[in-house]
Amino acid sequence: MKIAAISDIHGNIYALMKVLEDIDDERVDLVVCLGDLVGYGPHPNEVVALIKRREIPCIKGNYDASIVDGAFTFIRDTSINSFALPWASEEVRASNKYYLSELPTELNYDIKGIKIKFTHGSPNRINEYLFEDSNETKKVMENLEEDILVCAHTHIPSYKKFNNKTFINVGSVGKPKIGRPNATYCIININEDKNIDVKFKEIEYEYKRIVKDAQMLNFPSQLVASYESGNE
């Protein structure tokens, strides 16, 4: 069973289209989206429409939840978010807000007897950052009932074994923090022997297109520059 896990698209339709092209080439059995379809980028409605059209199972990210309630409930109150949250709240159509509001906060699969939990932040909180070497991650993995935890939210891909448990963070399609502008996602392959193979993919896309769109909409220069640098 070959699974592609994507997350943190953040209104970047160009990165999403390129990643989905690569996923199609990989001939996966299942695509799962870990949320944050909206926020930051200038094309939130297009991203939601494409995820819906492809019928990709999706969970709710912290920015999705914040757009729905229109407040800093699940996101940090920063200078960038003070622009991006009200802009996206105004831009996202009512039907798409309803779609985001109805998304689950986790997805669970049993594949060949291997249990997988998909979350955005952590199983505890939608906006908890899980870095591979943090104490929070260690505690989460100690308490994890499933065999694999697949999460996102940090925008940094990572993979680590915790005894017999597997921790995976899939990175970000639309707002990477890897020091390069490329989109990242993860492929998880569970073979007949129940061995788990994890592969991260880094995909180039025409990031200058989103830079141009953001500039035309007078997005903050710090936000525009992040698409070029691959940093926050």
Read off the tokens for 178: 């890897």
| Range of lowest pLDDT (69-78, 167-176, 214-223) | 69-78
- Residue 130 and residue 136: Cα distance in Å, rounded? 7
Per residue in 161-194, pLDDT tens? 999 999 999 999 999 999 999 999 999 999 888 8
Tokens 């990643």 belong to 19
Q: What is the pTM of this model?
A: 0.97
Is the predicted pLDDT of residue 64 greater than 90, yes or no? yes
Structural element, H or E, at residue 218:
none
Per residue in 97-123, pLDDT tens? 999 999 999 999 999 899 999 999 999
| Structural domain range at position 120 | 2-229
Domain count, the chain: 1
- CATH number at 57 reads 3.60.21.10
